[in-house]
Structure 1
Amino acid sequence: MDAKRELTSVDLAALVAELNRYEGAKVDKAYLYDDDLLRFRMRDFDRGRVELMIEVGEVKRAHVADPDHVADAPGRPPNFAMMLRNRLSGADFAGVEQYEFDRILEFTFERDDENTRIVAELFGQGNVAVLDEAGEVVQSLETVRLKSRTVAPGSQYGFPESRLHPLEMSYDAFVRRMEESDTDVVRTLATQLNFGGLYGEELCSRANVEKTLDITEADEEVYEALYDAIGRLGDRLREGDVEPRVYLEDDHVVDVTPFPLEEREGLAQEAYDSFNTAVDEYFNRLQREPEEETSTGTERPDFEAEIAKQERIIEQQEGAIEGFEEQAEAERERAEALYANYDLVDDIISTVRDAREAGEGWDDIEATLEEGAERGIPAAEAVVDIDSKEGTVTVDLDGTRVPVDAAMGVEKNADELYKEAKRVEEKKEGAQAAIENTREELEAVKQRREAWEADDDEDEADDDEEPEDVDWLSRSSVPIKQPEHWYEDFRWFHTSDDFLVVGGRNADENEALVKKYMESNDRFFHTQAHGGPVTILKATGPSEKARDVDFPDSSLREAAQFAVAYSSVWKDGRFAGDAYMVDPDQVSKTPESGEYIEKGGFVIRGDRTYFRDVSASVTVGIQCEPETRVVGGPPAAIEPKAATTLRLEPGKYAQNDAAKLCYRRFKEQFADESFVRKVASPDRIQEFLPPGGSDIVDE
C-alpha cells in the first residue's frame, strides 16, 4: 500500500490538544526550506528546545519534532522567513486551533507590539498565510484568488466554504445528511460527512455495518450504530484519549493514526505514548526511506504536472477577474440607484441625521423607522437594516440594497461607491497583468517540453555523432535539470580539474565542514587575513571510499583563490591576499594551555604551504549542462563551464544590489527569460557573491 503523506482531519483533531501543551513557548527563529517546509525554533521553560514543523508541499504535516530529526538550517533565509523572524522573534506561542473539521490549523503567536496568526492549509495544493491582528494577509506562500475566497497580501484572509462538522451534529441532522446521498454508506461517510476514505471504512467496521450497503437500504438500526461509532470517536478526540500507532508493511512505514484501527489490523504496528511523537517518528522515517527509483537529475521533467499547475492558476485568475468585474458593476449599480432615488435617500439621511443631532440613540431611530414603515411612509419602508457600529443605514432601492453612511449626503455616498468601483477595476487590471505572466509561464513550459522531446529525438538519431556545442543563449526554451547535492548548503564550486571545493559562510558552517565533511585525504585552506571561511578541497565525496589524491596545481591555486575572495580581503576592498594550505590532521579544536578558541575557529599546527598575492576575483555564471544552475568561484574554474558569465571584483555595490545587477545582465543575454527567473534569481546569485561591495568587470 502507498505510504500516507498527508494528515487527515481526524489526525489534526488529535494533534491540536497535544500541540497546545507547548503554549507559552517563546519563538527564537523561523526557517523556510524548499518553499514548503516551515520550522519554528522555540524555547519552553520546562521542555527546553521546541521545533515546530509545518509542511504544505507533497507532504502535509504539522507537529513538534525531535531536534535530532531537524535538518541543518538552510542558507541565506528568503524574504518569507525574514518576515516571520521580524514578526515572531520573542513572541509567545499562544495556541493552535483546527478550523471546523477541515485540514486547516490556526497557530497564534502573541507579542507586546503585535499578535500574529499563521494559517496552515494542509489540503489541496497546500499553503501558509501569515495574518495580522485584523485578519489581513501579511504574506502567503501561494496567492489564491477565487470567487469564493482570496488569500493575497493586503486582503482579508478567506477561509474555504464551511464544511459539515460530523463530530458536532445532532442525530436528526446526521440522518438527514445520510439520506440525501445517492451512493453507499462508506462513500457517504467519506465525502458527505468529511471523514475521508480510511475513517469512513473504520466507522463502518466499528459499527458492524456493511460498507457497500446502499443508502436506500439503510434503516434506523444502521444509522444509530454509525452515529454511536462517530460519537465514541469524537469523545476520544475531545478527551485526548489516544493510543497512537505507526503501521508498517514490509518494514516500511505506511500510516500513523491516533488510535489502533481495525482497518489496519493486518499490518505490523508500533505503539507510542503521544500522537505527536508518533507523527514525528513516522514522517522522519518516511523521509529517510529510499525512493523506489533514485533520480539522477537527467530524467524527463514532469512537464504535464507543471502545465496542469499553470492552467489551474490561470483558472483561478480568470475567476478572480470575473469576480472583480461583477463587484465593480455592483458598486456602480448601487451608486446609480442612489441618484435614481435621490429624494427618497435624501429624506432617509436627513431623518437619521436630525435624530442623531437631537441625541437619539440608534435603537430609538430604528424603532421610529419601523413605526413609520407600518404607517406606509416610503422612506421608512425602504430601510431594511441599521448598523449602529458603522453608522450606516441599508436601503432597498427597487431591489438593489445599498448601505448609506448617514453622516454624508447622497452625492458623497454615490461618489464613494464610484471610487470603490474604480479601485476594484484597478485590482482587475493587476489580475489581468498577472494572468498574462502566467500564460507566458505556461507557454514557456510547453516550449521546454517541445525542446526536451526534440533533444530526445536528436539524441536517438545522433548517438554515433560527435556532440555539437549548443547555443543556450539563443534557445527559446532551456530545459531545467536541477538535482540536489549535499554541498549546496555551503559555498562551493568545482575546480577546472573537476574537484569539489566547499567553504563555510559562518561559524556554524565552518564547524560542520571540519567535523562532518573533512576527510584525511582532503586539503584545508584558509586566508592569512582574519575572518576567512574554512575552505576544503575534497578528494572524495561523503559516500565514496577514501583515497589518496595528487591534486593538480591548478586546483590548489583555485581553492586558495576561493578562500581569499570570500574572506575579509574582499570586504576590506583589497584586490589580493595570501592563503595557506594544510592537511586535515593539522587542524584541531584543542587550544594551547590558557588560550580560547571561538566557535568556527581552529588551531593549525605544523608547516603550512603558502599562496602569496592571490587575486580576489570571482566569476558568477549560469551553467546549462549537464545541470542548470547558478555557479560561482574562481574565473578559471567557472568561465569554461558556464553558458554565460560575469566577472566581479571588490567595489561599491552592496551584495544584494550586485546580485540584482547580475540578474538583469543575465536576463538580457538569454532569449528564454523565464529560464533565468527560475534558475538564477537575485537570491540565488547572491549566494555566490563575496560579502561586501562588488563591481562588475566589463571585459
Structure 2
Amino acid sequence: MEPKRELSSVDLAALATELSRYEGAKLDKAYLYDEDLLRLKLRDFDRGRIELLIEVGENKQAHVADPSRVPDAPGRPPEFAMMLRGRIESADLVSVEQYEFDRILVFEFERPDQNTTLVVELFGDGNVAVLDGNGEVVRSLETVRLKSRTVAPGSQYEFPKSRLNPLEVDYDTLEARMEQSDTDVVRTVATQLNLGGFWGEELCTRAGVEKTMEIADAGEDEFRAIHRELMDLADALRSGQFDPRVYVERDNEEDGDDDADGPLTERGTVVDVSPVVLEERSELPSQAFDSFNPALEEYFYRLKEQAQREEEGGGRERPDFEAEIEKEKRIIEQQEQAIEGFEEEAAELRRKAEICYARYDLIDEVLSTIQAARERNTPWADIQETLEQGAEQGIPAAEAVVDVDGAEGTVTVDVDDERITLDATTGVEKNADRLYQEAKRVEGKKEGAREAIEDTRERLEAVKRRREEWEAEPEPEPEPEEGEHEETDWLARESIPVRQPEQWYEEFRWFHTSDGYLVIGGRNADQNEALVKKYLDKHDRFFHTQAHGGPVTILKASGPSEPSSPVDFPDASLQEAAQFAVAYSSVWKDGRGAGDAYMVEPDQVSKTPESGEYLEKGGFAIRGDREYFRDMPCRVAVGITCADETRVIGGPPSAIEPDAETTITLEPGKFAQNDAAVKCYREFKSRFTDESFVRKIASADRIQEFLPPGGSDLLDV
C-alpha cells in the first residue's frame, strides 16, 4: 500500500480544531528549510515552547512537534524567512482555521503595528502566502498565475473557487445532490459531496450502504444513513472528540506479536494517519494516540525515516506517479469547472441583452430621461434624486433604477429579477449589442480553456506512459564515477520537473557572471535608491553608463547577510557587469550598437551633491577617478535553465549561454519589448518537447523582465 503523503480535508478539519487551542501564543522565530518546510517557534503561557512544522513539498502536512524532533536552524535564513520574521516576530496567534472544506489552513497573527495572515495551501504543488492586513500578498513561496486565480506579490489573495462543505450540508441538500448523479453511490458521495474517493468509501462502509449500488436504486434509507454518518463525523471534527490512529503494514509475519519491544510504528511501515478510527483500514494494525497532533508527528517522522532507509538501501526509487496522475486529474477538474463558469456567465449576459429588448419601452424611458437631463447639464446627483422621487410616486421606470454612477456614466436597473448595468449615454440597441458582444468574448475564453484541458490530458497520458515504461525497465546499472555522467537532453524530455526557489534579488534586474558572481541592477529610480542605500557593500563594485538613463549596477562580493571581504574580481566578470549596465540603459533604447560604462568603489558613491547642484531621485554623485569600459556591445541573451533550477535568465551572452539549456540573443531593433518577449516565448516553446514546462516557467511576461527597454531584434531564430 502506498503511504499517505498529503492530509485530507477531513484531517485538516481535525487539525484546525486542535491547533486553535494554541491561540494566544506568541511567535518567537520563523525558519524555512529547502523551500518547502516552514517552522514556527511559539511560546504559550501554559504550554511553554511550541514547535509548529508546516510542509508543502512532497509531503503536505502540518503538526506541532516535540522539540527533540525539530531540525536544527539553517545556517543562513533565506529571504522569505527574514521577511516573515520581520512581520510576525512577537505577534500573537489569534486564530487558526480551515478555509471552508479546502486543504487550506489560515493563521491570523496580530501585532500593534500590523496584522498578518499566513495562508498554507496543502494541495497541488503546495504554497505558503503571507498577506497584509488588507489581504494583499506580501510574499509567497510560489507565484501562481492561473485563469481561475492569482497568488503573486502585490495582488489581492484569491482563494480557490468555493465548493460544497459536506460538514454543513443538510439532508435535503444531500438528497438533491445525490439524485443529480448518474453513477454508483460511492462515486456520487465522493464527487457530489466533495469528500474524495477514500472518504466516499469510508462513509458508505460506515452507513452500511453497498458502494457499487447504482444511484437510481438508492433511496431515502441509504441517503439518511449516509447523512447520519456524515453528521456524526462533523460533530467529532468540531468538538475535538477524536480517536486518532496511525495505521501500519507489518514488514513480515513474525511482527504480529503485539507484545514485541518498541512501538508498532517502529516495527512496520506506516501507511495512514487519521483523527478517527477507519473502517476501510480495519484489516491493518494501528497505534492509538491521545490526540491528533502526536499521531501526525509520529506518522510523518516515521515516513521520513522509511524514505531515508530506502534511499540508503540503494536500488531504484519508484517515482510517485500516482501523485502526479492525481494532480493532473485535479487540474482537469478545475479547468472543466472554469468552462462551466464561462458558459454560465455568457448565458447570463445574453439573458440580460434579451431583457433589454423584451422591456424595451421601460429601459428606453430610463435612458432617455437621463440623457435629456444631462443635455440640460443636470448634475448626476440631482438625476438620482429625481429618479428616487419618481420611484416613491410609483413611476415604473424610476422604480426599476437601482443606482446611477456619474463617474462611470452608467445606470443600473432591476428588470425581471435581473440586475443590468447600462451605458446611460447610448440607447437600448447599443447596450444590448454590447452585452451580446461581451457574451461572445466570454464564450471565446472556453476555447483557451479547452486547449488547456487537452494539454493537461496529454501530460496525464505522458505520466501514465512513464509509469508503464518505468515498470518495464530493469534495475539500472550502478552510477558512473564522477566525470562520467551523461548529459541530459532537456529539450527532448517529455516532462521536466519545475524547481524554482525564490531568491532575494529577483525584484531587481540580475544575472550571475561567468565566474559565478551576482550582478544586480535597478529597474527604476526607486530601485536605484534602494540598491545604493541597502545593498551596496564596501567590497562591491558600482557600475554606470556614461549615457543618461542607466540602471545602478552592482557587482556583489557577497550576499546581503554574508560577511563581506575583499575580492579580486576576474576581468570577465567586470566586463560582463559593464556590458549589463550599457545594455539596460538608454543606449539600447536609442538603437545604438555599443556604449561606454565606468566602475568605481562604493565609497566614491554619494547622495550628497556638489555645492549648487541638485540630485534627482535615483541619482548619485561620483567622486574620484573612474575606470572606463569602452564600446561595450549592446547585446543580451535570454535563456532557460533546467538542471539545478528551472527559470528564465538573462544578461550578457557570455554569462548566460554556459548556464542555460537554450538561449536567444537580442540586439537593439524594431520589435517592441512585449512583442519581442512573445517571439522569444514562441521560439522556446518550439524548442522544448515539454511545452507545458515553458508555459510554467518562461511566460512572455517573465521573459520581458529580462529584456532591455526599447525595441529589439532576435538574432538566432
> TM bucket by the smaller chain?
0.5 to 0.7
* Structure-1 separation of matches of 2:661 and 2:214: 56
Map Cα deviations across residues 362-418 of structure 1 (whole Å, 9 max, x no partner).
Answer: xx96564475651xx4xx376345799x99853589999775899xx99xxx9xx9x
Please say if 1:257 is aligned against 2:274. Answer: yes
Using the TM superposition, give the Cα deviation of residue 270 of structure 1 relative to its aligned residue in structure 2, in angstroms. 1.0
Map Cα deviations across residues 278-302 of structure 1 (whole Å, 9 max, x no partner).
Answer: 1111111111113675387999999
Equivalent residues of 1:150, 1:158 under 8 A apart: yes
Equivalent residues of 1:140, 1:153 under 8 A apart: yes
From the superposition, tell whether residues 480 and 259 of structure 1 become closer, same or farther in structure 2 (CA, over 3 Å). Answer: closer
From the superposition, tell whether residues 257 and 343 of structure 1 become closer, same or farther in structure 2 (CA, over 3 Å). Answer: same
Unaligned runs of 5+ in 2: 251-267, 353-362, 439-444, 467-472, 500-557, 574-599, 604-648, 664-687, 689-693, 695-717
Q: Could you say which residue in structure 1 is the equivalent of 2:292?
A: 275
From the superposition, tell whether residues 381 and 208 of structure 1 become closer, same or farther in structure 2 (CA, over 3 Å). Answer: same
What is the SS of the residue equivalent to 1:101? Answer: coil
* Structure-1 separation of matches of 2:189 and 2:10: 13
Map Cα deviations across residues 167-222 of structure 1 (whole Å, 9 max, x no partner).
Answer: 21221111111122222222222221122233222222222222222212212222
What is the SS of the residue equivalent to 2:166? Answer: coil
Q: Could you say which residue in structure 2 is the equivalent of 1:178?
A: 178
* Structure-2 separation of matches of 1:311 and 1:173: 26
Q: TM-score, normalised by structure 1?
A: 0.53
Q: Could you say which residue in structure 1 is the equivalent of 2:401?
A: 383
Aligned residue type for 2:197: G
Map Cα deviations across residues 632-676 of structure 1 (whole Å, 9 max, x no partner).
Answer: xxxxxxxxxxxxxxxxxxx9579xxxxx9999864254453689x
* Structure-1 separation of matches of 2:423 and 2:78: 44
* Structure-2 separation of matches of 1:214 and 1:43: 53
From the superposition, tell whether residues 16 and 470 of structure 1 become closer, same or farther in structure 2 (CA, over 3 Å). Answer: closer
* Structure-1 separation of matches of 2:248 and 2:562: 55
* Structure-1 separation of matches of 2:181 and 2:25: 46
Please say if 1:394 is aligned against 2:420. Answer: no
Using the TM superposition, give the Cα deviation of residue 83 of structure 1 relative to its aligned residue in structure 2, in angstroms. 2.3
What is the SS of the residue equivalent to 2:168? Answer: coil
Q: Could you say which residue in structure 2 is the equivalent of 1:501?
A: none
Q: Could you say which residue in structure 2 is the equivalent of 1:289?
A: 306
Using the TM superposition, give the Cα deviation of residue 474 of structure 1 relative to its aligned residue in structure 2, in angstroms. 13
What is the SS of the residue equivalent to 1:289? Answer: helix
* Structure-1 separation of matches of 2:178 and 2:655: 60
Equivalent residues of 2:248, 2:272 under 8 A apart: yes
Q: Could you say which residue in structure 1 is the equivalent of 2:122?
A: 122
Q: Could you say which residue in structure 2 is the equivalent of 1:205?
A: 205
From the superposition, tell whether residues 25 and 396 of structure 1 become closer, same or farther in structure 2 (CA, over 3 Å). Answer: same
What is the SS of the residue equivalent to 2:39? Answer: strand
Using the TM superposition, give the Cα deviation of residue 468 of structure 1 relative to its aligned residue in structure 2, in angstroms. 9.8
From the superposition, tell whether residues 298 and 286 of structure 1 become closer, same or farther in structure 2 (CA, over 3 Å). Answer: closer
- Counterparts in 2 of 1:298-697, with a 5 A limit? 348=370, 366=388, 368-369=390-391, 371=393, 373-374=395-396, 377=397, 380=398, 383-385=401-403, 393-395=411-413, 571=564, 573=566, 666-670=655-659, 672=661
Please say if 1:266 is aligned against 2:283. Answer: yes
* Structure-1 separation of matches of 2:221 and 2:330: 44
* Structure-2 separation of matches of 1:184 and 1:481: 37
Aligned residue type for 1:383: V
From the superposition, tell whether residues 299 and 211 of structure 1 become closer, same or farther in structure 2 (CA, over 3 Å). Answer: closer
Unaligned runs of 5+ in 1: 335-340, 422-427, 450-455, 485-564, 576-615, 621-650, 655-659, 679-699
Equivalent residues of 1:118, 1:130 under 8 A apart: yes
Q: Could you say which residue in structure 1 is the equivalent of 2:57?
A: 57
* Structure-2 separation of matches of 1:397 and 1:667: 61
From the superposition, tell whether residues 569 and 128 of structure 1 become closer, same or farther in structure 2 (CA, over 3 Å). Answer: closer
From the superposition, tell whether residues 248 and 366 of structure 1 become closer, same or farther in structure 2 (CA, over 3 Å). Answer: farther
From the superposition, tell whether residues 664 and 20 of structure 1 become closer, same or farther in structure 2 (CA, over 3 Å). Answer: farther
Map Cα deviations across residues 470-518 of structure 1 (whole Å, 9 max, x no partner).
Answer: 9999998999999x9xxxxxxxxxxxxxxxxxxxxxxxxxxxxxxxxxx
From the superposition, tell whether residues 670 and 247 of structure 1 become closer, same or farther in structure 2 (CA, over 3 Å). Answer: closer
Aligned residue type for 1:228: R
Q: Could you say which residue in structure 2 is the equivalent of 1:89?
A: 89
Cα RMSD after superposing both structures = 6.3
What is the SS of the residue equivalent to 2:287? Answer: strand
Please say if 1:164 is aligned against 2:164. Answer: yes
Please say if 1:222 is aligned against 2:222. Answer: yes
Q: TM-score, normalised by structure 2?
A: 0.52
Aligned residue type for 2:292: F
Identity of aligned residues (%): 54
Map Cα deviations across residues 107-156 of structure 1 (whole Å, 9 max, x no partner).
Answer: 11111222121222222232222222222222222333333333232322
Aligned residue type for 2:164: L
Please say if 1:143 is aligned against 2:143. Answer: yes
* Structure-1 separation of matches of 2:71 and 2:42: 15
What is the SS of the residue equivalent to 2:190? Answer: helix
Single out whichever of 298-307 and 257-266 deviates more from structure 2: 298-307
* Structure-2 separation of matches of 1:48 and 1:36: 26
* Structure-2 separation of matches of 1:664 and 1:124: 36
Aligned residue type for 1:100: E
Using the TM superposition, give the Cα deviation of residue 36 of structure 1 relative to its aligned residue in structure 2, in angstroms. 2.2
Q: Could you say which residue in structure 1 is the equivalent of 2:187?
A: 187
Aligned residue type for 1:24: G
Aligned residue type for 2:656: K
Aligned residue type for 2:311: T
* Structure-2 separation of matches of 1:303 and 1:57: 15
Q: Could you say which residue in structure 1 is the equivalent of 2:247?
A: 247
* Structure-2 separation of matches of 1:100 and 1:71: 32
* Structure-1 separation of matches of 2:148 and 2:496: 37
What is the SS of the residue equivalent to 1:254? Answer: strand
Equivalent residues of 2:54, 2:61 under 8 A apart: yes
* Structure-1 separation of matches of 2:488 and 2:203: 60
* Structure-2 separation of matches of 1:312 and 1:167: 21
* Structure-2 separation of matches of 1:569 and 1:105: 34
* Structure-2 separation of matches of 1:161 and 1:222: 30
* Structure-2 separation of matches of 1:261 and 1:191: 20
From the superposition, tell whether residues 27 and 202 of structure 1 become closer, same or farther in structure 2 (CA, over 3 Å). Answer: same
Aligned residue type for 2:401: V
Q: Could you say which residue in structure 1 is the equivalent of 2:78?
A: 78
* Structure-2 separation of matches of 1:168 and 1:399: 29
From the superposition, tell whether residues 661 and 466 of structure 1 become closer, same or farther in structure 2 (CA, over 3 Å). Answer: closer
* Structure-2 separation of matches of 1:307 and 1:230: 28
Aligned length in residues: 479
What is the SS of the residue equivalent to 1:290? Answer: helix
Aligned residue type for 2:300: F
From the superposition, tell whether residues 370 and 291 of structure 1 become closer, same or farther in structure 2 (CA, over 3 Å). Answer: farther
What is the SS of the residue equivalent to 1:115? Answer: strand
Equivalent residues of 2:124, 2:327 under 8 A apart: no
* Structure-1 separation of matches of 2:110 and 2:94: 6
